[in-house]
Structures are given as structure tokens and as C-alpha cells.
Amino acid sequence: DAGVTQSPTHLIKTRGQHVTLRCSPISGHKSVSWYQQVLGQGPQFIFQYYEKEERGRGNFPDRFSARQFPNYSSELNVNALLLGDSALYLCASSSDFRVAYEQYFGPGTRLTVT
Amino acid sequence: QKEVEQDPGPLSVPEGAIVSLNCTYSNSAFQYFMWYRQYSRKGPELLMYTYSSGNKEDGRFTAQVDKSSKYISLFIRDSQPSDSATYLCAMSPYNNNDMRFGAGTRLTVKP
């Protein structure tokens, strides 16, 4: 079975631009979470979606938004990019939002903002 | 003070050594405690999780939780060079999706 997949693998953007990151969960998983991992730090929770509804939001500005589609895939959007948004963006899936402790991560998208 | 504290290392041990990795936390609401392994340029991989206090063993890995001290540990027996990675602790409250991670400890096992 395929694990969590993310695209693109890497991308480079300029300050002020917008970016869209994509995630496909493990087959049968209905919950998708997004995390930001800055170099040298642990992942930080951004959003969780379950059955297309937002179930949780971390302490991130409104420039960050996300949505989940009927096939349970998800997009993370970041507007007005800042240098500090450079990070590895991780997507994780689980069977239910209440079992966040059993999340499986994708390989991540490495975003560099110049 | 961070909610989850983890010594970033780096930690270097010879092959076959017993490795001890630790995290402390401040939020008494945490009920689930996870350990992830992250290889360079990869996503974290779930090793094991425990609920509340106690021990859990899986092969060469043992996780311990002491809620009274707000202290969790991961022990790796007979460490192998393939265990070289960053180990992240994570924790969440019961029925809550907001996981909090430690900064990760970078481990190198030398042949």
C-alpha cells in the first residue's frame, strides 16, 4: 500500500508570492494534518481536517489556509510568503481525528523562500 | 518554558550500546506519548506510542512514561548504525488532535 504522498518535493518561491502544497493520505484514512518543521526543530501543528471539516488549528497567521477534498486529499495554501516560512511542510494522515497519536507522515515538501 | 523539552544532542554511541533518549513536559493534560524516527530529508516515522503511564516494548525499543515526573524515555538496545537518525518525542491530550513535538535528538551509532 502507498503511504502518504506529497507534492511537490521541493520548491523555491520569492517573498510575497503564494504557494499551494498537496497531500494524499493513506488509503482509508479520513483525517489529514499539516505541520511545519523548521530546521533543527520538531514539527509544529498547523491544521487538521476530517471529513472535509477543520478539526483543529495551530497558532499560525491567517496567511495559512487549507482544505480537504471529497477523496480526503488536502491542500495547504500560504499567501504573502515571508522568509520565515522556509521550512519542511509535513502532511500526516490517520483513520480518525481522535487518533492523532497514530498519525503517519509523508516525506514532506521543502519550501525555500528567497 | 516550552511545553515539551528534548535535548537536541547530538548523541554518538558505538554499535551495540544501549541508547537512552528522554523528554520532559509541562502539560499534565497529555495522555498519549509517541516516539518518531526521522531520517535526513524524510518525514517522521512512528516507532511506538503509549497511553498514560507505564512501559511498552517492541523488539529492541522500549518506551517508558512517568506521568508523576512528567518524564518519558525511549531505550534502544543493541543499537545499530541503521538507527542513526533524529528521534522526536510527541504527545497529545486524550481525544485531541493537537500533537506537541520535542525538538528531536540526533543520534549517531558508529560501527
Taking only the tens of pLDDT, chain B with its 111 residues reads: 789 999 888 999 999 999 999 999 999 999 999 999 999 888 999 999 998 888 999 999 999 999 999 999 999 999 999 999 999 999 988 777 778 999 999 999 999
Q: Is A56 on the interface with B (CB under 8 A)?
A: yes
| Residue A8, H or E segment | none
Q: What is the mean pLDDT of residues A93-97?
A: 87
The verdict on B85 touching A (C-beta cutoff 8 Å) is no
Which pLDDT score is estimated for B37?
97
Grid coordinates representing B26?
Answer: 509541562
Q: How do beta strands B100-101 and B105-110 pair?
A: unpaired
How far is residue A46 from each of residues B20, B41, B102, measured CA to CA in Å? 30, 20, 16
Put simply, whether B99 touches A (Cβ < 8 Å) is yes
**Confidence at A1, pLDDT banded by 50, 70, 90:** low
- Averaged pLDDT, A3-32: 96
How are beta strands B19-25 and A44-50 bridged, if at all?
A: unpaired
Contact B19, B75 (CB under 8 A): yes
C-alpha A45/C-alpha A30 separation (Å) is 18
pLDDT tens for each residue of A18-40: 999 999 999 999 999 999 999 98
Provide the CB-side half-sphere exposure for B33 (13 A, CA). 28
CB–CB contacts below 8 A, A to B: 68
Of the residues B97, B105, B106, the best mutation for testing chain A's interface (the one with the most A CB atoms within 10 Å of its CB) is: B97
Exposure letters A54-90 (e unless 16+ CB within 10 A, then b) = ebbebebeeebebebeeebbbbbebeebeeebbbbbb
Q: What is the separation, in whole angstroms, between the first and last Cα of chain B? A: 37
